[in-house]
Amino acid sequence: MFFCFPCRTDDALVKNISIHEQYARQQLSLSRVKLCSARCPVKLSIVVPVYNEEKTIKSILALVEESLEQLTSISSYELILIDDCSTDNSKKILEEIVQQKESYTLLSQRVNAGKGAAIRAGIAQTTGDIVLIQDADLEYDPKDYEILVRPLAEGKADVVYGSRFKGEVTRVLYFWHFMGNQFLTFLSNMFTNLNLTDMETCYKAFRGDIIRNMILTSNRFGIEPEMTAKISKIKELRIYEVPISYFGRTYAEGKKINWKDGCSAIWAIVKFNVLTGYSESFREGFTPFD
Ligand SMILES: Nc1nc2c(ncn2[C@@H]2O[C@H](COP(=O)(O)OP(=O)(O)OP(=O)(O)O)[C@@H](O)[C@H]2O)c(=O)[nH]1
Ligand SMILES: [Mg+2]
């Protein structure tokens, strides 16, 4: 049984041979996901968790807009912004921006609950064929959307991670932070049997149905190993990694993550790989390739 990504037309209808489908057949001969003969519209949902980012939020959203204008592989988009009970001006700035943009939605967390909780709230509101996570600081460059989204929009991938360690432009920063990152990716790979180079990357893009059916529980930075452990539980998923730029910030510039987050990540890797089964990872009845 085949179905079209994103319109989910089933096998019986995926037969009108066009250049588009010939291409799909060539590229996807081993896959159960195809593109049907029509150029189906692809909607992108961007989830932006925001906590005390008054200095960067306007700039990052401007860069997001700029990148979306150039993006040829999608036909529409929505932005889900989640204010995580910021104590600075972030919420006020977001409220002003959302008023002017129809495709933006603002969610407000009642208490500060962490990046994971913000992402979970955001994902639940998405309607796109593709869901992408975007941090609200300026460490990641939205220009990379093209390379991140294209494999999904073309139906070649189910999940795409952006790797900061394969990119051409990465800021030179803390050695021990880098080692911690490498160690967490290594440990995660040992359990998931995936050969990722950057498990902790913010730039993760998913087929919308997969991420919306994933049962996520982490409130803080454990969300990264959790999502990675859970995608690894569906062996047929086509997971890709693409090179991205990274403009890391220093602690003086606002970096918040620290060694305690590293320790929680180790626990999250064990918990979500070893102590969590498939039935606790995806909603009942979800079949990614039906
Ligand atoms: N640190 C932190 N970030 C949050 C929280 N809630 C939402 N976020 C957002 O989650 C994203 C990631 O947070 P960052 O502090 O940049 O985390 P990171 O990029 O992994 O780490 P550094 O930037 O290196 O500290 C940002 O967009 C934050 O605004 C929270 O409670 N704490
Ligand atoms: Mg950051």
For 168-201, the pLDDT digits (tens) are 888 888 898 899 999 999 999 999 999 999 999 9
Q: How far does residue 256's CA lie from ligand 1's centre (Å)?
A: 7
* Closest protein CA for atom 22 of ligand 1: 255
Ligand nearest to the CA of 259: 1
* Closest ligand 1 atom to 137 CA: 27
Task: Write down the mean pLDDT value for the chain.
Answer: 89
**Does the predicted model carry a pTM greater than 0.85?**
yes
Ligand nearest to the CA of 90: 1
pLDDT at 250: 84
Q: Which residue reads 């305690």 in tokens?
A: 260
CA distances from 241 to 67, 226, 276 (A): 20, 17, 25
Using CA atoms in the order 5, 160, 139, 103, what is the torsion angle rounded to 10 degrees?
A: 10
Please classify residue 117 by burial: count the beta carbons closer than 10 Å to its beta carbon, then call 0-12 exposed, 13-18 middle and 19+ buried.
buried
Pocket-forming residues, ligand 1, beta carbon under 6 Å: 49-51, 53, 84, 112, 114-115, 118, 135-137, 139, 202, 249, 255-257
Rounded to whole angstroms, the Cα distance separating 108 from 83 reads 5
Q: Where are the domains of the chain?
A: 41-280
In CATH terms, the superfamily for domain 41-280 is Spore Coat Polysaccharide Biosynthesis Protein SpsA; Chain A (3.90.550.10)
For 214-272, the pLDDT digits (tens) are 999 999 999 999 999 999 999 999 999 999 999 988 888 877 788 888 999 999 999 99
Residue type at position 286: F
Which of 52, 110, 135 gets mutated to test ligand 1 (max ligand atoms within 8 A of its CB)?
A: 135
DSSP state of 143: G
Ligand nearest to the CA of 86: 1
Q: Say how many CA atoms lie within 13 Å of 80 toward its Cβ.
A: 21
Residue 120: band (very low, low, confident or very high) from pLDDT cuts 50, 70, 90: very high
